A and B are shown apart, each in its own frame.
Chain A
Amino acid sequence: MAHLDNAATAPAILQELKPAVLPRAVLVSNNRSFSWITEKICSLIEGKTPAWWWVCFVVACFVASFTVAGITYLVSTGVGVWGHANPVNWAWDIVNFVFWIGIGHAGTLISAILCLLRQKWRTSINRAAEAMTIFAVVCAAIFPVFHVGRVWYAWYLFPIPNSNAIWQNFRSPLEWDVFAVSTYGTVSVLFWYVGLIPDLAVLRDRFYAAGNKLRSFLYGFFALGWRGSNRHWSNYEMAYLILAGISTPLVLSVHTIVSFDFAVSLLPGWHTTIFPPYFVAGAIFSGFGMVLTLMLPLRAIYHMEDLITQYHIDCMCKITLATGTIVGYAYSMEFFIAWYGANPYEGFAFINRAFGHYAWAYWIMITCNVITPQFFWFKKVRENTTLVWVLSIFVNVGMWFERFVIIVTSLARDFLPSSWGYYSPSIVEIFTFFGTFGVFSVLFLLFIRFLPIMPMAELKAVTPQADPHAGHDHH
């Protein structure tokens, strides 16, 4: 019926011209059936743990132990074990925090913004991307929590009554950040969990049929008794849409508020109005870099070529290209405004970034963030998954250096030349940061072993046979 309505309301000229109908990109290749999707995704959880998983898991645990060691030493000794000294009192801690938070943003972009834009290609990658968001927020949260020094007072960040009867300073963007990041973490977990409910029900029934009562109970407990009722689906889909709708302003606001940590200060190089959009674009850029870094090996190991198709990779490369170019524009615009604003301190801060003591970091940043994504203009490059993977690593490296350049170069050369300094990280900081990749990997490996890495219900809904009007369509 809907098709007839469309034909009636379409402009008359279309009837005459008869434009060719462009074929829609296929989201699940080879016309796979519903049960093929269930089998494919559940078999990853139900099968024997592969040897490579154990190897990766042990290595990841070893790497994660560096963070544990670094933090244990920090807590038992004091925050002075980090290389911070006047005037650079923010360094790797905040660099790493912004780096990890930014990585998380692509997950929310894929799950929320692309959902609202009805970009159905997001379906196969959204679950893993959301998991990436949550684990990245976990890694990010480590740094601000421990950089307060006496971590047992970290709860002072929240408005909980304390014995001094004093309250938090809500005029400070650092306090805004506490709310932004904790809301972001909470809403990301909720969104992820709501998406998981129908898939957990699938696993509950499969493990029950296979006689594994314990796992059936555990999956069933979290599936909340989901039974695929259409009356439930109706409310569920509405709730999912609203969660996507609120996650979109959320993800934009989180990195905006992270950028306020800098922009609301008076330091040259930080005090600029371009920061919020520039940080958000950079976050999405780095996040898509990380999604590519994670998804390409996963696709190869699990033979997911029918579910993560070349079309998906193309889309992700193009978003990386677009956001990378926005970031490049922001770099040049910062320089332009520094000159056009005629503020000598601002001008010095930027000349110093490009040609001062930290020039090496600045040019790594420019190479990785501005030049690397430009390769994605070429179809040949986008179709070479190895090359895409290597380029995505460069994006990750470049975005870490961006935060380093912004934070450290501005602080190392502040208003008083007598207090200028040069910051180098201590071994404790290096260990702590290195270890967070292990923390992230441990969490991600547990995720791909125990939870469905793709949303089965959503994937089934985008297959051609899911359309109840299939067979007698007029489109």
Chain B
Amino acid sequence: MSAQSYGLIATFETPAAIYHAAEQVRDAGYKHWDCISPFPIHGLDKAMGLKRSIVPRFSLAGGITGFCTGMSLIWWTGAYDYKLIVGGKPFFSPMFAFPVSYELTILFTAFATIGGMLFLNGLPKHYHPVLKYEHIKRGMDDTFFLVIESRDPRFNLANTKGLLEKAGGRDIKELEA
């Protein structure tokens, strides 16, 4: 069985170079493509035409769950399951339940944020065609790559290669799937 092509990868030396290349690939109408960089480049999301991340929705859901968990835990244990008079204080009050609910809000938000981020990114994923690229080590260090996947409807080996060349990409290689 011959190795299937995952797509084309091109190398760029500077953040400015990949920034302008990303703008061109975006304007050419590609959908399944990505930039690989050792650090987040300011403004590259816009250059790629990415929408604002939806991680905050996970965080909000986590926070609400955490707060409700705290309040209901304290109500259920203290005012429902086993009522116990301590210091003449009420069985339940949102006042004394607040500190614990506040902490659980933060705890659940943290888990939901990280879980949501990993879910949206499809991580953990230890096997990926990009990671098999021989120069990927430099992509973690000081070099920038632009990858266009072959499953993109506009993908055409010759045209896409031409676009990457025009955008200033060097070392344009095919990636095995």
Residues of A within 8 A of B (CB): 33-35, 38, 159, 165-173, 175-176, 179-180, 183, 186-187, 190-191, 194, 198, 201-202, 205-206, 208-209, 220-221, 224-239, 242-243, 246-247, 249-250, 253, 257, 260, 456-458, 460-461, 465-471
Contacts and interface: CB of A to CB of B under 8 A. Distances in A.
Contacts of B131: 225, 227
B41 A466 contact: yes
A183 B111 CA distance: 11
Given A179-B100, A235-B117, A226 B41 contact: no
Given A176-B99, A239-B55, A166 B104 contact: no
B142 A38 contact: yes
A234 B50 contact: yes
B137 A209 contact: yes
A202 B141 CA distance: 7
Contacts of A33: 142
Contacts of B89: 171
Given A234-B50, A239-B116, A169 B86 contact: yes
A227 B103 contact: no
Given A183-B104, A467-B15, A228 B113 contact: no
A276 to B, nearest CB: 11
B44 A468 contact: yes
B87 interface: yes
A166 B130 contact: no
Given A34-B141, A243-B113, A466-B15, A231 B34 contact: yes
A173 B96 CA distance: 9
B103 A253 contact: yes
Interface of B: 14-16, 18-19, 22, 34-45, 47-48, 50, 52-53, 55-56, 59, 63, 73-74, 77-78, 81-82, 84, 86-87, 89, 96-97, 99-100, 102-104, 106-107, 109-111, 113-114, 116-118, 120-121, 123-128, 130-131, 136-137, 139-142
B50 A460 contact: no
- Which residue, of B34, B99, B109, B136, has the highest number of chain A Cβ atoms within 10 A? B99
A134 to B, nearest CB: 14
Given A167-B77, A186-B107, A239-B114, 15 more contacts: A167-B81, A172-B86, A225-B124, A227-B36, A233-B37, A238-B56, A242-B109, A250-B106, A257-B99, A257-B103, A260-B99, A457-B38, A465-B15, A466-B15, A468-B19
Given A167-B77, A187-B106, A230-B48, A225 B126 contact: yes
Contacts of A456: 38-39
Contacts of A167: 77-78, 81-82, 84
- Decide if the interface of chain A is mainly helix, strand, loop or mixed: helix
A406 B103 CA distance: 26
Q: 4 nearest interchain CB pairs?
A: A34-B142, A167-B77, A468-B19, A239-B117
Contacts of B97: 170
A187 B113 CA distance: 11
A260 B56 CA distance: 31
A468 B15 contact: yes
B123 A183 contact: no
B87 A171 contact: yes
23 contacts: A34-B38, A165-B82, A169-B86, A172-B86, A173-B99, A190-B111, A191-B110, A227-B136, A230-B40, A231-B34, A231-B50, A235-B53, A239-B55, A239-B114, A246-B109, A458-B39, A460-B39, A465-B14, A466-B42, A468-B18, A468-B41, A468-B43, A468-B44
Contacts of A170: 74, 77-78, 96-97, 100
Contacts of B52: 238
Nearest to B102: A253
Nearest to B77: A167
Nearest to B15: A468
B42 A171 contact: no
Contacts of B110: 186-187, 190-191, 243, 246
A221 B127 CA distance: 11
Contact of A180 (B74, B103, B113): B103
B40 A179 contact: no
Contacts of B140: 38, 198, 201-202, 205-206, 228
A242 B137 CA distance: 29
